């Protein structure tokens, strides 16, 4: 696909070099835009750089993923020790910030799954806050089913994809 | 002039290489209308070598309601209705014959004149015709197919329309996301946006000039609107937490959006684009999202306030509580209203699978239209006759269409990568 795109760009350039007129619109110019720039910042057009850091070492602290059951957002007993370890570290290091990235498996509607991923991120946020982590250290983002950790449409992949990733920030 | 013609030929010849989506009918009507679309008289070189009759035949066949006659079986190849010998075609079991001519016009315009002959009655219907710039001859051909479809079926065709969709390349966790706009037959694909982070929920403005979508290019979600032709892009919502599920109001002046805020409670809002004024429409601890506005102003949205996702409706400005609309099954999400406002397309759970359903709003009856395991994102064609949606085949996302009566299905498969979240654009002026 990338190849096609680059061929496309090349052909466009060749067309320009050959003196082809720019492709004319097939309809008259558009009516005034239904929006204006006053409503938002103009897009920076580049993706923001990597803002993550390796984070603290340690057997428990190296585990940064909290898994969830189907359609659930409560932290399972087997994940509690991992959450507790991060809570203790973050409470002792109040300058350290983390981003809680919530995810869902691929079943169901995409925007609804954004909501499910957010619920999971919020569950981890509350658990950390309850153990003394400041709200200013915590932020959440939900990617829903858009950034799977594992490919495939089976229970194993679903289980790996229903997760919250604790991401340490610079 | 000669240079111009060479350029056009070059560009048209280059087009098939980008034809990423290929349409296959998977289920058609049992007794399709037999139609012979005879090769049109050409305008050399203004037509750029485009086979107008072939474009029209593919359009009509794509609906599953027509079977085009093979050219090898055509004994005569008339180009005017007067030359059509009805009894001869009738012997070959053809119901309709389409003939036509492409002619070069002043100012770089090309005109298509088509004539439709009903072989059984011998009736000759002059027109339809369509005129446009030589570079847009394919679009003119789609417009002729729209008119032919309407003359025979009684419903305007939706061939001269566009679709937008998201394409995903690569394996998790490193994937690449792209937003494309293409003609409804998959041709003339144009990339609108590319990002290493997710792009989702594209939505057309009612005039077909703008696309709203969600992009995570800043690592967090934000809603953008982008002009299809100029690429001009504005961020319209990047508030704390989730910014999602944009869809235009029928007048194109507002966006329905979902906001989560820092506490992660998703509710539906109305954003006026010119002023940036925000009006909250729902206030519930559950997930409220995927709102869409019908022509009469009624808003339909997904909410799990009852425990599982179901569709609710509300009237902006009214103090009435949202009313539940779907009662069939334990999962109904992602509502889309038909152009006439009488039907709702939804993602519904049936037999343990996620399928496309259509609910009659007056009776409340829900009919499951699709047969796959994991389907989503239904979107109505502007004529209300078909739905496009995302399905899966051998683990890959493909686009599919189904007629609203469930009888006719087709697949638009990509050459490479996964395609998803198709949205059918409006009729073009």
* Nearest Cα residue to B133 out of B48, B219, B32, B16: B48
Maximum separation of any 2 CA atoms in chain B, in Å: 74
**For residue B25, with 0-12 CB atoms within 10 Å meaning exposed, 13-18 middle and 19 or more buried, which class applies?**
middle
Q: Is residue B64 part of a domain?
A: yes
Q: Is residue A57 part of a domain?
A: no
Domain boundary among B109, B127, B153: B153
CB contact under 8 A, A110 and B415: no
Token pair for residue B261? 């805020």
Q: Is residue A53 part of a domain?
A: no
Give the pTM. Answer: 0.86
Cα B387 from Cα B378, distance rounded (Å): 6
Under DSSP, is residue A42 helix (H, G, I), strand (E, B) or coil? Answer: strand
Q: Is residue A40 part of a domain?
A: no
The answer to whether residue B14 neighbours chain A at the CB level (below 8 Å) is yes
On whether both B52 and B135 belong to a single domain, the answer is: yes
| Paired strand residues for A103 | A144
The answer to whether residue B210 neighbours chain A at the CB level (below 8 Å) is yes
- Say if residue A12's pLDDT is above 90: no
How close does chain B come to A132, measured CA to CA in Å?
A: 18
Q: How many residues does chain A have?
A: 170
CB contact under 8 A, B334 and A109: yes
Cα B199 from Cα B201, distance rounded (Å): 7
Spell out the residues 6+ positions from residue A75 whose beta carbon is closer than 8 angstroms to its own. A66, A68, A83, A123, A124, A127
- Say if residue A73's pLDDT is above 60: yes
Mind listing the pLDDT tens digit for each residue in A49-71?
788 999 999 999 999 999 999 98
Q: Which phi and psi angles does B115 have, rounded to 5°? A: -135, 140
Residues of chain B contacting A26 with CB distance shorter than 8 Å: 132-133, 135-136, 139
DSSP run (H or E) holding A126: helix A110-130
Which range marks the domain in which residue B210 is found? 162-424
Q: How many interface pairs between A and B have CB atoms less than 8 angstroms apart?
A: 208
Cα B348 from Cα B422, distance rounded (Å): 17
Cα B41 from Cα B43, distance rounded (Å): 7
CB contact under 8 A, A115 and B242: yes
| CB of A124 closer than 8 Å to CB of A67 | no
Average pLDDT for chain B: 91
On whether both B217 and B138 belong to a single domain, the answer is: no
How close does chain A come to B162, measured CA to CA in Å?
A: 13
**Average pLDDT, consecutive stretches of 10 residues, N- to C-terminus, chain B (429 residues):** 36 38 80 96 93 95 92 94 91 95 93 94 82 90 95 94 94 88 91 95 98 95 96 96 97 98 96 97 97 97 97 95 96 97 96 96 96 94 96 87 91 81 95
Region A18-43 average pLDDT: 36
Q: Is residue B404 part of a domain?
A: yes
- Please give, one letter per residue, the 3-state secondary structure of chain B: CHHHHHHHHHHHHHHHHHCCEEEEEEECCCCCEEEEECCCECCCCCCCCCCHHHHHHHHHHHCCCEEECCHHHCCCCCCCHHHCCHHHHHHCCCCEEEEEEEEECHHHEEEEEEEEEECCCCCEECCCEEEEEHHHHHHHHHHHHHHHHHHHHCCCCCCCCEEEEEEEECCCCCCEEEEEEEECCCCCCEEEEEECCCEEEEEECCCCCEEEEEECCCCCCEEEEEECCCCCEEEEECCCCCEEEEEECCCCCEEEEEECCCCCCCEEEEEECCCCCEEECCCCCCCEEEEEECCCCCEEEEECCCCCCEEEEECCCCCCCCEECCCCCCCEEEEEECCCCCEEEEEEEECCEEEEEEEECCCCCEEECCCCCECEEEEECCCCCEEEEEEEECCEEEEEEEECCCCCEEEEEECCCEEEEEEECCCCC
Q: Is residue B429 part of a domain?
A: no
Q: What is the pLDDT of residue B130?
A: 86
Q: What is the pLDDT of residue B295?
A: 95
Count the Cβ atoms, other than its own, within 10 Å of residue B1: 8
Q: Is residue A150 part of a domain?
A: yes
Q: The domain that contains B147 carries what CATH number?
A: 3.40.50.10070
Token pair for residue B248? 């235009």
Q: Is residue B256 part of a domain?
A: yes
- Say if residue A29's pLDDT is above 70: no
| Identity of the residue in A37, A119, A151 whose CB atom sits nearest the CB atom of B171 | A151
Cα Rg, chain B, nearest whole Å: 23
On whether both B72 and B166 belong to a single domain, the answer is: no
Q: The domain that contains A109 carries what CATH number?
A: 3.30.1330.60
- Say if residue A1's pLDDT is above 60: no
The answer to whether residue B415 neighbours chain A at the CB level (below 8 Å) is yes
On whether both B149 and B216 belong to a single domain, the answer is: no
Please name the residues between 110 and 169 in chain B that touch chain A, using a CB distance below 8 Å.
132-133, 135-136, 139, 167, 169
Terminal-residue alpha carbon distance, chain B: 29
CA B1 to chain centre: 36
Token pair for residue B338? 């038909």
Domain boundary among B153, B171, B204: B153
On whether both B213 and B302 belong to a single domain, the answer is: yes
Domain tally for chain A? Answer: 1
Domain boundary among B99, B122, B153: B153
Cα B421 from Cα B406, distance rounded (Å): 20
| CB of B212 closer than 8 Å to CB of B203 | yes
How close does chain B come to A88, measured CA to CA in Å?
A: 22
Domain tally for chain B? Answer: 2
Q: The domain that contains B362 carries what CATH number?
A: 2.120.10.30
**For residue B90, with 0-12 CB atoms within 10 Å meaning exposed, 13-18 middle and 19 or more buried, which class applies?**
middle
In the structure, what pLDDT confidence band is assigned to residue A24 with cuts at 50, 70 and 90? Answer: very low
CB contact under 8 A, A1 and B416: yes
On whether both B114 and B239 belong to a single domain, the answer is: no
On whether both B89 and B52 belong to a single domain, the answer is: yes
On whether both B120 and B198 belong to a single domain, the answer is: no
Cα B102 from Cα B24, distance rounded (Å): 28
Cα Rg, chain A, nearest whole Å: 22
Q: Is residue A120 part of a domain?
A: yes
Q: Which phi and psi angles does B142 have, rounded to 5°? A: -60, -35
Cα B384 from Cα B352, distance rounded (Å): 28
Q: Is residue B410 part of a domain?
A: yes
Q: Is residue A27 part of a domain?
A: no
* Nearest Cα residue to A170 out of A97, A114, A99, A110: A97
DSSP run (H or E) holding A92: helix A77-92
Count the Cβ atoms, other than its own, within 10 Å of residue B352: 6
Q: What is the pLDDT of residue B22?
A: 76
The answer to whether residue B417 neighbours chain A at the CB level (below 8 Å) is yes
Q: What is the pLDDT of residue A48?
A: 62
On whether both B312 and B407 belong to a single domain, the answer is: yes
- Say if residue A45's pLDDT is above 90: no
Q: Is residue A115 part of a domain?
A: yes
On whether both B101 and B177 belong to a single domain, the answer is: no
On whether both B196 and B242 belong to a single domain, the answer is: yes
Token pair for residue A105? 């498996």
CB contact under 8 A, A114 and B244: yes
On whether both B248 and B291 belong to a single domain, the answer is: yes
């Amino acid at each position: 696909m990338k190849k096609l795109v680059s061929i496309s760009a090349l052909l466009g350039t060749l067309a320009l070099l050959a003196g082809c007129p720019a492709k004319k619109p097939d309809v008259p110019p558009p009516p005034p835009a239904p929006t204006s720039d006053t409503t938002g910042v103009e897009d920076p057009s580049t993706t923001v750089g990597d803002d993550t850091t390796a984070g603290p070492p340690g057997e428990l602290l190296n585990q940064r993923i909290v898994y969830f059951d189907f359609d659930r957002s409560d932290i399972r007993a087997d994940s509690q020790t991992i959450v507790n370890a991060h809570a203790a570290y973050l409470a002792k290091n109040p300058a350290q910030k983390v981003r809680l990235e919530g995810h869902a498996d691929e079943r169901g509607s995409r925007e609804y799954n954004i909501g499910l991923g957010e619920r999971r991120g919020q569950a981890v946020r509350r658990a950390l806050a309850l153990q003394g982590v400041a709200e200013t250290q915590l932020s959440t983002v939900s990617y829903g089913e858009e950034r799977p950790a594992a490919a495939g449409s089976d229970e194993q992949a679903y289980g790996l994809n229903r997760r919250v990733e604790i991401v340490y920030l610079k | 002039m000669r240079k111009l013609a060479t350029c056009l030929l070059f560009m048209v010849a280059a087009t098939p290489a980008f034809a990423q989506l290929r349409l296959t009918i998977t289920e058609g009507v049992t007794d399709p209308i037999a139609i012979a679309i005879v090769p049109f008289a050409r305008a050399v070189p203004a037509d750029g070598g485009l086979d107008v009759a072939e474009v029209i035949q593919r359009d009509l066949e794509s609906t599953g309601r027509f079977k085009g006659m093979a050219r090898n079986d055509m004994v005569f190849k008339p180009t005017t209705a007067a030359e059509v010998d009805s009894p001869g075609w009738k012997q070959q079991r053809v119901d309709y014959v389409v003939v036509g001519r492409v002619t070069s016009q002043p100012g770089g315009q090309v005109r298509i004149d088509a004539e439709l002959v009903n072989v059984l009655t011998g009736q000759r219907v002059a027109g339809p015709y369509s005129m446009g710039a030589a570079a847009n001859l394919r679009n003119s051909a789609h417009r002729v197919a729209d008119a032919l479809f309407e003359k025979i079926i009684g419903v305007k065709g939706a061939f001269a329309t566009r679709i937008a969709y998201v394409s995903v390349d690569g394996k998790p966790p490193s994937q690449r996301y792209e937003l494309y706009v293409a003609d409804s037959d998959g041709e003339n694909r144009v990339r609108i946006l590319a990002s290493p982070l997710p792009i989702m929920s594209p939505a057309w403005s009612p005039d077909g000039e703008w696309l709203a979508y969600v992009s995570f290019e800043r690592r967090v979600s934000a809603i953008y609107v982008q002009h299809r032709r100029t690429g001009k892009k504005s961020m319209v919502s990047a508030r704390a937490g989730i910014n999602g599920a944009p869809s235009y109001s029928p007048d194109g002046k507002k966006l329905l959006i979902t906001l989560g805020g820092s506490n992660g409670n998703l509710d539906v809002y109305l954003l006026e684009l010119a002023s940036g004024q925000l009006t909250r429409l729902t206030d519930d601890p559950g997930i409220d999202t995927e709102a869409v506005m019908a022509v009469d102003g009624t808003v339909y949205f997904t909410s799990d306030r009852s425990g599982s996702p179901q569709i609710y409706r509300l009237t902006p400005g009214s103090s009435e509580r949202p009313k539940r609309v779907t009662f069939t099954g334990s999962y109904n999400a992602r509502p889309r209203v038909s152009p006439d406002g009488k039907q709702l397309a939804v993602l519904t759970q049936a037999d343990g699978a996620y399928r496309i359903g259509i609910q009659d709003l007056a009776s409340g009856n829900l009919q499951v239209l699709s047969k796959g395991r994991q389907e989503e994102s239904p979107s109505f064609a502007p004529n209300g006759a078909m739905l496009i949606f995302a399905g899966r085949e051998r683990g890959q996302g493909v686009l599919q269409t189904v007629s609203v009566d469930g009888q006719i299905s087709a697949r638009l498969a990509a050459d490479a990568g996964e395609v998803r979240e198709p949205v059918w654009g409006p009729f073009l002026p």
